[in-house]
Structure 1
Amino acid sequence: MPRTVGTPVLWILLASALTLFFVDLGGSSIWDANEAFYVETPREMLERGDYVFPTFNYEPRVNKPVLSYWIVAGFYKLFGDSVAVQRVPIAVGGVLLVAIAFFLGRLASQDPDDRGAVLRAGLWAALGFAVSPRLVMFSRRIFIDIYISLFMASTLLFFALAERYPRRRRTFLALMYLSIGLGVLTKGPIALALPGLVFFIYLLAHRELRRVSEMMIPTGVAIVLAIVVPWYAALYQRDGWTHIASFFLGENLGRYSDGIGYDTDRGPLFYLGVLFSDGFPWSILVFAACALWWRVSHRAPSTDPQPPVRTQTLLLIWIGAIVLFFSFSASKQDLYIYPVMPAIAALGGVVIAAAAPGVRWLTAVIGVLVAAGATGILYVFQASANTYNVDGVVIVSLAALAGGLTALGLSLAGRWQAGLLVFLASAVLVNWVLVLRVLPSFEKYKPVPPLTRFLESQAGADDVIAHYSVALPSMVYYLRRHIDVTYDRQTFIAIMRQPKRVFGILWTQEYDGLRKDFGIPTCALHRTPAFNIKIGAVIARAPLPELVVITNRCE
């Protein structure tokens, strides 16, 4: 593919992909459960005028540090509180992650003296990451994981820049420590521990542990403490060590060692699947990147590897160390390893720009996987047409199918770069249709908006609203009031028996089992379906599960 044709097309596709991050941000309601916390907690901060002690549902929420809430609260101050406003900084974080992939791809480019090749490596990296289905979705609803990924990836980038440009090392290291501090204030010590582990392994691999003295550690400690300590000091002044100890021992050590609060049945290979699904499409090129690194690193003198090879080494260590670290964790959540995705994208960009051996056939593999996935989606939604009638699914499936088959055909014909371009163009189209057609159409299957409208028309200020065995935290934001939430049967029965009028929300089958145990008359006031997107249930055309609003005042 000629450079004069390829580079402008890559820029156009990248601009189209990134523009989508800011389109129709308020078009869908809050996604339960995680997004609700980052919409409502900052709103309660503003309502209470307390920026030190976060609350959700007017109850303490100090299981995470405070920076995520501060960022959203700042946007609320400027633009008013709304779901769309909360999603703007998430979208900004997604775009910055793509920018980091771009710069890492440039730094790792095989031919640093060819400015065109360097640019193309960055563009391929950024574009592959920008069209990743997981990033497109996460950058519209998963605040904290986008931002911890952003700050950790920034830490990686500034370390790589410090390695590449020694004359500006102090500036880049200061920015690296700034990123670490912001990461610690976002999600805790993991933002310091994991980069520290990676950089230690990197220096050890190059037999350069003596260079630890060049890392400006005293300055770095001062920068991190200056960012982190003020909030922890204010929290300590308010409540002592209670919440701080709970966070460090429970949320960090307890979750890693014992899986506190999470299922622990995911095996040690869980993250291999996550790596390839969340990093798709360029995750398919990881083994080619390893082979390219091996070939080039063994061609160069082992005592003085070239800068791009050192950057590739750093990226591979970053991916391997983080994935291995969390593979031994008792609790495993897919987003834990999301900070490796910019590195995967960067290595994919390097492989494509260098036309590494095997990339033609890996392009064919991408085409096959995309075509198979599109066929599967089309089958699943057509099979469940009577249950889920969602606009745009056919367009999404056919566009992806066409892109995958074209990429396959062009790669088999030897025109694999053209095949990748067609695939990426189809991915951009798919994502636009997903945002503008599929997500708005899916709204009718989300239960909180209709439940909220009903409760607003029925519940008075002195009435009690309670949830039993159902996670609908976004209702707190929409109703702007406290909701009793319990998963304990006897507690819910006691709530329903109290003298006040109570509106309880639970699954219909739960109500059928509880009704005789209340010991008082109860009645169902309103029912609404909820989605269940487990593949087995969808294919089996299982009826939608149903939520019911009940009350202890049957008038």
Structure 2
Amino acid sequence: MKDRVAKTVTKWWNVWEKHPTRLWMFSVLGLSAICWVAFLWHLGSTGLVDETEPLFAEAARQMTVTGDWITPYFNGETRFDKPPLVYWLMAIGYNLIGVNEWAVRLPSAMSAIALTVLGFYTLRYLGISRPSTLIHENSSELEDTSKLPNPERQRWLSAGIGAALIAFNPITLVWARTGVSDMLLSGCMGTALLSFFIAYVQGETRIQGDGEQNSRNHGKAKGDSQPILGFSSGWYLAFYILIALAILAKGPVGIVLPGLIIGAFLVYLGNFWQVVREMRLFWGLGIIGILAIPWYVLVTLANGEDYINKFFGYHNIERFVGVVNHHWAPWYFYFLVVLVGFVPWSCYLPLAIARLRFWQVQQWRCSPRASQLGLFALCWFAGVFGFFTIAVTKLPSYVLPLMPAAAILVALLASDLLTYQNPQPRLGLRLSGGFNVIFLLVLAGAILYSPNIIGYDPAALNLSETLQASGLPLRGGILWGMAAVAAVIALCRRRGWRWLGTINLVAFVAFIILVVSPAAFLLDQERQLPLRELSAIAAEVNQPSEELLMMGFEKPSVVFYAERSVNYFDEEHKFIAYIEKIAKTKPNPPSTLVLIESKRFNKLKENSLKPNEYTIVDQGGAYHLIRVTKQVIAQKPQPSGVIK
């Protein structure tokens, strides 16, 4: 039976090989399906998630309102956390498709799509994991070629698997669907690194083996690019432009990290100065400067030392050398983040890295450039991982830029195993497969138990019960449990390990469609929808000179959906003191709209507000929208002990 399946697969592949146009059409359709499901499906169907996403969305909206495209603002204050590229792209989206969630998240989604597509292209032409494979590809002196892979088939497998893994991993899915700058940085940096590697391969003047045959096999990756603006490859020009965009997306890290990665890669191979001359670094830095520096000059001229201290001092240097906003974590934090954020493929990362045999320096230095993608991906992975492990401030999103490298490493491993004639898996693959099964079982149990570990959420008081009643935890637990059983069966059968990747991928995509997507709508309805609706009502019923206050909590999405500034008060006495102060200083004080948690509103009615001092405008979820009459408050006797 297994032999029949193998023969059928081989026959199917041979048919496709004879019709490359059909194979490309099939690949384009597959890529489109991957990108649609992973990044575009229901992208703008849920509201902005507090806390960070609305900060970016509102800062971009302010640019369209004020016409100031240099200094970002949120809620009347400058926002120097990030450079402007993500704001510019969102603002352009507002002008094209309106101020909505789609426009907010499209920059992240398009960045992820670009990264997935270029990853596919790179692997399609350079997806060889072993230097010996490319060296032997054109050799006619081998005694036994039956054990050698089909390089063309391996590249197609690498491309398909790699594109799926770049898209379908938890941390990429989350940030590609979130309107912040993290995915934009990852997309710019990732496509820049891939562009560099393609140009690096094209720059090789001599490859072992027959040069003419090599040109046929790798021409599209190396030989088709014509010099542009003096660069030996147009991909080098693309590299510098994308680095400039990365700097405008996140700051100095956009050039520091790629520089460390490429520098380590070239030093390891012993061709650092050769490639530096080849890529015309001086002119490239000039292009980066022309594209990236002007905004930094303009924003500094507009805001002076305040911008320098906040952006470069606080959000860059201090984040690296100290703990910012209590984001501390132990040194092993990113081991856990990669393990969970790249699940289930993280089970195979150690084997993928070890299989490269990176310690064999001389063999790598003697290998053709076209066979060095695995080593480059390892430098990419280790560079990002090491840099942010050293940094004191730690956040899960910081390692997002290494996920494409992890996907490439595992894709090369998978294509290698599927192409070589391996009758039985070795110890490393057995251990990785066993860990895969254990992880799937743990994942199934965690999802089943998830309603019990959510805890108290003041924004959605009955979230745990609602989630349990939806049946989604049970559905997710069963799905991953079935995947674990299928993986066990595969490992117990001869060559069944070849189906592990398919089992994981099918379960992952099914989990997105059947569990994650419905859960996102449920969470949005329970947590964000009431606040969003009350914010819109506040914008509709707003009277002239009427302020909007928020008491007891701070949700930046209110500023975006109400389209106005909001004053926040975390304590009751400060809130009352502010209202009394305004009421007593203005001759005809207007009323005030107040968005407040229901439990705090009940407490406020008992201690400070009388029935004639407010009216309830609306309520939803855990919140009340009330209108407080300042004129009435100004006329009542001032209670002793009120803080002004």
TM-score by length of 1: 0.86
Aligned mate of 1:274, from 330, 337, 340: 337
**Shift of residue 403 of structure 1?**
2.5
Q: Distance in 2 between matches of 1:178 and 1:405?
A: 48
Code of the aligned partner of 2:96: L
**Shift of residue 273 of structure 1?**
0.7
Whether the 8 Å contact between 1:105 and 1:345 is mirrored in structure 2 is no
**Shift of residue 251 of structure 1?**
1.2
Q: Distance in 1 between matches of 2:242 and 2:317?
A: 22
* 1:79–1:435 CA distance, 2 compared to 1 (3 A): farther
Match of 2:282 in 1: 218
Q: Distance in 2 between matches of 1:311 and 1:321?
A: 15
Code of the aligned partner of 1:242: D
Match of 1:197 in 2: 260
Alignment of 1:108-123 (within 5 A): 108-110=127-129, 111-112=133-134, 113=137, 114-123=151-160
Aligned mate of 2:465, from 379, 383, 386: 386
Match of 2:591 in 1: 501
Match of 1:301 in 2: 363
For structure 1, which segment, 210-219 or 488-497, has the greater mean C-alpha deviation from structure 2 after superposition?
A: 488-497
Q: Distance in 2 between matches of 1:123 and 1:186?
A: 29
For structure 1, which segment, 301-310 or 89-98, has the greater mean C-alpha deviation from structure 2 after superposition?
A: 301-310
Q: Distance in 2 between matches of 1:284 and 1:210?
A: 37
* 1:309–1:298 CA distance, 2 compared to 1 (3 A): farther
Q: Distance in 1 between matches of 2:553 and 2:122?
A: 43
**Shift of residue 547 of structure 1?**
4.4
**Shift of residue 237 of structure 1?**
3.7
Alignment of 1:33-432 (within 5 A): 33-106=51-124, 107-110=126-129, 111-112=133-134, 113=137, 114-166=151-203, 169-211=232-274, 212-260=276-324, 262-294=325-357, 298=360, 301=363, 303-307=365-369, 310-355=372-417, 357=426, 358-381=428-451, 386-388=465-467, 389-390=469-470, 392-413=472-493, 414-432=495-513
Match of 1:19 in 2: 36
* 1:120–1:63 CA distance, 2 compared to 1 (3 A): same
Match of 1:535 in 2: none
For structure 1, which segment, 426-435 or 8-17, has the greater mean C-alpha deviation from structure 2 after superposition?
A: 8-17
Whether the 8 Å contact between 1:90 and 1:146 is mirrored in structure 2 is yes
* 1:435–1:79 CA distance, 2 compared to 1 (3 A): farther
Code of the aligned partner of 1:386: E
Whether the 8 Å contact between 1:14 and 1:130 is mirrored in structure 2 is no
Alignment of 1:446-461 (within 5 A): 446-447=527-528, 448-456=531-539, 459-461=542-544
Unaligned runs of 5+ in 2: 1-5, 17-22, 138-150, 205-224, 226-231, 418-424, 454-462, 584-589, 633-644
Whether the 8 Å contact between 1:399 and 1:426 is mirrored in structure 2 is yes
Once superposed, what is the RMSD of the aligned Cα atoms?
3.2
Match of 2:562 in 1: 479
Q: Distance in 1 between matches of 2:370 and 2:318?
A: 39
Identity %: 21
Q: Output one character per residue of 1:277-299: Cα deviation in whole Å (capped at 9) or x when no partner.
A: 2222322211111211117x639
Code of the aligned partner of 2:543: G
SS of 1:466 mapped into structure 2: strand
SS of 1:354 mapped into structure 2: helix
**Shift of residue 105 of structure 1?**
4.0
Q: Output one character per residue of 1:124-155: Cα deviation in whole Å (capped at 9) or x when no partner.
A: 12112322233223221143111100111112
Code of the aligned partner of 2:432: L
Q: Output one character per residue of 1:300-329: Cα deviation in whole Å (capped at 9) or x when no partner.
A: 635413435532222212211221211122
SS of 2:355 mapped into structure 1: helix
Count matched residues. 537
SS of 2:550 mapped into structure 1: strand
Unaligned runs of 5+ in 1: 530-545
* 1:189–1:395 CA distance, 2 compared to 1 (3 A): same
SS of 1:293 mapped into structure 2: coil
Q: Distance in 1 between matches of 2:110 and 2:365?
A: 41
SS of 1:305 mapped into structure 2: coil
Q: Output one character per residue of 1:434-482: Cα deviation in whole Å (capped at 9) or x when no partner.
A: 4653222322212422432553465434222223453311111211111
* 1:171–1:54 CA distance, 2 compared to 1 (3 A): same
**Shift of residue 32 of structure 1?**
1.2
* 1:308–1:463 CA distance, 2 compared to 1 (3 A): same
Match of 2:459 in 1: none
Alignment of 1:524-535 (within 5 A): 525=616, 528-529=620-621
Q: Distance in 1 between matches of 2:367 and 2:385?
A: 25
Which structure would you say has the larger Rg?
2
* 1:120–1:40 CA distance, 2 compared to 1 (3 A): same
Match of 2:519 in 1: 438
Alignment of 1:505-544 (within 5 A): 505-507=595-597, 525=616, 528-529=620-621
Whether the 8 Å contact between 2:451 and 2:465 is mirrored in structure 1 is no
Q: Distance in 2 between matches of 1:265 and 1:489?
A: 31
Whether the 8 Å contact between 2:172 and 2:400 is mirrored in structure 1 is no
* 1:266–1:511 CA distance, 2 compared to 1 (3 A): farther
SS of 1:294 mapped into structure 2: coil
SS of 1:266 mapped into structure 2: coil
Whether the 8 Å contact between 2:106 and 2:179 is mirrored in structure 1 is no
Q: Distance in 1 between matches of 2:596 and 2:544?
A: 21
For structure 1, which segment, 426-435 or 345-354, has the greater mean C-alpha deviation from structure 2 after superposition?
A: 426-435
Code of the aligned partner of 2:161: W
